[in-house]
Structure 1
Amino acid sequence: MAKHIYPCLWFDNQAKEAAEFYCGIFPNSKVLNASPMVVNFQLNGAHIMALNDRRPPNHFNEAFSFVIPCEDQQEIDHYWNSLTADGGEESMCGWCTDKFGISWQVIPAILGQLMSTPEKAQRVVAAFLKMRKMDLQTLINA
């Protein structure tokens, strides 16, 4: 039986560069091993494999994303600014894409609590639909 399941991210030829980029952003992260074809790394303690292969051409999209539940606005700002730097792109509702094309959801850890009733959920959703990067205080006030 498998011990655990982990994602494999398929890059054209930037697997090690991407692993090092992510390890520089997240705590408890490190490159475990690297070869020209495969890089294994831990991202905040979670195992991820990155693969270099140009056939067939693959492109990431929002059908797969990583979710980062953040404790406060400072943490939201850190991850958002780091991931959108150097060619990353902001999207809506806490979603962004990094310079490699990986999608991320940078959200408050308390988002579920903020939407604990249908009435609260409606107000919070109305608030974050107007946002790119999440503004925690605005969501709390909604």
Structure 2
Amino acid sequence: MKEVLRWPVVQKLRLFSSHQLQTPFPAHNRLQHSIRIAFLAYKLSKFFFQDPSNCTRAGLLHDIGYATVSPEFTQTHFFNHARAGFYLLTKFNEPKWVREAARTHMFPMGAFPKTILSFVIWLADKLDWIFYLTRLDSFLDRYINNILKINKSD
């Protein structure tokens, strides 16, 4: 995943807020959100007998469609980013399972997740929302940051 995190289009996700439109709580950026989804998808993959690496990659790239517009258009792009991500990931020659996970993660406001991997990404995205609403997202961020620090020292 390190190479994906270095992509300029992925780094652009830092410019977009996450969850800010729905609540008064402090917002994270889309890159932080995508890293949380990748982590949650990795953990969920074991329960759904999916490849952890595939789930992690799809989770990291699920919101890539935001990077197709300027940050000022985040609110209007909210309903279109899943489809935009699908097309962007097609241009990047990402596998179908990554593209489909990006395209369907907004269900019921978008397409239904037809594969187990797409469902895992959809579920991870909804769990992150619940973590945010219950203010447990900072706990999850600290946990992920500790893992990232450990992996950096290896």
**TM-score, normalised via structure 2 length:** 0.26
For the pair shown, which has the larger CA radius of gyration, 1 or 2?
1
**TM-score, normalised via structure 1 length:** 0.27
More strand by share: 1
More helix by share: 2
